[in-house]
Each structure stands twice: as structure tokens, then as C-alpha cells.
A = this chain, B = another copy of it.
Amino acid sequence: MLVGMLAARKNPKRRATRLRDPERTRERLLQAASREIYRSGFQSASLDTILASAGVTKGALYYHFKNKEALGYAVIEEVISPDVRGTWVQPLESVKDPIDALISIVQDLSVRPEDVCGGCQLNNLAQEMSPLDAGFRKRLEIIFDAWREATASVLREGQIHGNVRRNVEPADAAGLLIAMVEGYGSLAKNAQDPKVIKAGIKNIVGWLRSLRAPGNRKRG
């Protein structure tokens, strides 16, 4: 301690004077953590890499978060959850035709070429951490449940208004849709070929059309 002081005095190297904006610092940390977790997984994303990517020092990190685990939890709740909500839940609120709405969402998944779909980040983290850490699992399950419930709900409403076939079980169909999206996301990520996700979207859309109530088909 004394040595450190003396050294600091002897060699007054320029200190990194930073933002002094705690909210912004926290947000930068979350975004950087999200990026690095997406790149290499939670366990393999090193704090030093995250900090470098965020342009933030370790002291700032541990001022805002108790530890790496807490940072991961915050990424789920404050980055991934809003993203899934924005992609899959909010667009379904107060729509006329649920099938059309779902098709529209699915087709929009291809616009982001690199990160095949935001849902994949959810899937990545779930695959990696759910068996290892109950805290991750619970938080991720909440997102999955919201996704499934929003989809099932809109399908139920569609059944009431006669847009959706009565013999589909909304909860089952919602689960199947999510499984398809996640599954194709995996395949596309592995193939690293946008053609895979395009083909997947085509197939998912075809399946979604098959849910439409007879006499309610739009085209063809």
C-alpha cells in the first residue's frame, strides 16, 4: 500500500478519467457483456474482454455488479428479455390476423444476416447455462414462457375470431413454432449460410399458413 503510494507519486501516470455517468457506464457494460456472451458463451467470455469492449475498468464493473454471475443475470433481464419482447410479444399486441402477424415476424428474422436472430442469443444462453445454473435457467424460462404465452394467446384469439383452425391446440402450436425457430436458428448458425435460414423461414411460414381456418385463406 505504501509502496503503491510512493510508486504512484514517483510515476504519476495519467489516470483514466472516465464517464462519471453511472447509468451510461452500466449500459455500456451490459451491451459489451451481451456481445461477448453472444460471441463465445457466458463461461468463456472473460471479464477482461468484456471490459475492454466496454471501455470500462474492472473497478467500475464491480461497483455496478456483485460478480460475473450478476452481470449475466442482468444481461438476461435487461438486454435479452426486452429484445425477445420487442420481437415476439409487442408486435402481437392487438393485431387483426394472428397468422399474418406471426408470418410477418418470422419473415423479418432474415433481415439481420449476421446474428441470425435475436432469439438465438436466448437459445445460446439457455443451452449453455440452464443445466448448470438455476438462476440462469429460471430467468431464461420466464422469457420462453412469455414468448410462448404471447403466441398461444394470439392464436386463441384467432380461434375466437375464426382466423385460426379450431383443432389446433394454441399452447402446442406456440411451442412448436418456438422449437422451429430455435431449431432453424441452430442449423443456420452451424451452416453459417443465410440460405438455411431462408429455407427455414419458408417452411415455418408454410406451416403457419396451415394453421389458418378453412375459408379464411388469403391467397391461393
Residue of A178, A179, A200 with most chain B CB atoms under a 10 A cut-off:
A179
Q: Could you tell me if B44 and A172 are in contact, using CB atoms closer than 8 angstroms? A: no
Q: CB within 8 A of A183: which of B39, B181, B199?
A: B181
Please measure, in the bound complex, the distance between the C-alpha atom of A37 and the C-alpha atom of B164, giving whole angstroms.
Answer: 43
Please measure, in the bound complex, the distance between the C-alpha atom of A22 and the C-alpha atom of B43, giving whole angstroms.
Answer: 33
Question: Which secondary structure dominates where chain A touches chain B?
Answer: helix
Question: Which chain B residue shows the least CB distance to A200?
Answer: B179
Q: CB within 8 A of A43: which of B43, B179, B202?
A: B43
Please measure, in the bound complex, the distance between the C-alpha atom of A128 and the C-alpha atom of B180, giving whole angstroms.
Answer: 19
B residues near A67, Cβ cutoff 8 Å: none
Q: Is A154 an interface residue (CB 8 A)?
A: no
Write the nearest CB–CB distance from A169 to chain B, whole angstroms: 9
Segment from A69-77, A80-88, A101-109, A137-145 that makes contact with B: A137-145
Write the nearest CB–CB distance from A187 to chain B, whole angstroms: 6
Chain A residues numbered 169-193 whose CB sits less than 8 Å from any CB in chain B? 172, 175-176, 178-184, 186-187, 189-192
Q: Could you tell me if B44 and A190 are in contact, using CB atoms closer than 8 angstroms? A: no
B residues near A176, Cβ cutoff 8 Å: 180, 200, 203, 207
Residue of A41, A181, A189 with most chain B CB atoms under a 10 A cut-off:
A41
Q: Is A54 an interface residue (CB 8 A)?
A: no
B residues near A39, Cβ cutoff 8 Å: 131-132
Q: How does the 8 Å CB contact mask read for A128-164 relative to B, with 1 for contact and 0 for none? A: 1011100001001100100000000000000000000
Q: Could you tell me if B186 and A182 are in contact, using CB atoms closer than 8 angstroms? A: yes
Q: Is A57 an interface residue (CB 8 A)?
A: no
Please measure, in the bound complex, the distance between the C-alpha atom of A187 and the C-alpha atom of B183, giving whole angstroms.
Answer: 10
Given A175-B199, A176-B203, 14 other A-B residues pairs in contact with their CB atoms under 8 A: A126-B186, A127-B128, A127-B186, A137-B190, A144-B190, A175-B187, A175-B203, A176-B207, A179-B179, A179-B180, A179-B203, A180-B180, A181-B183, A183-B184
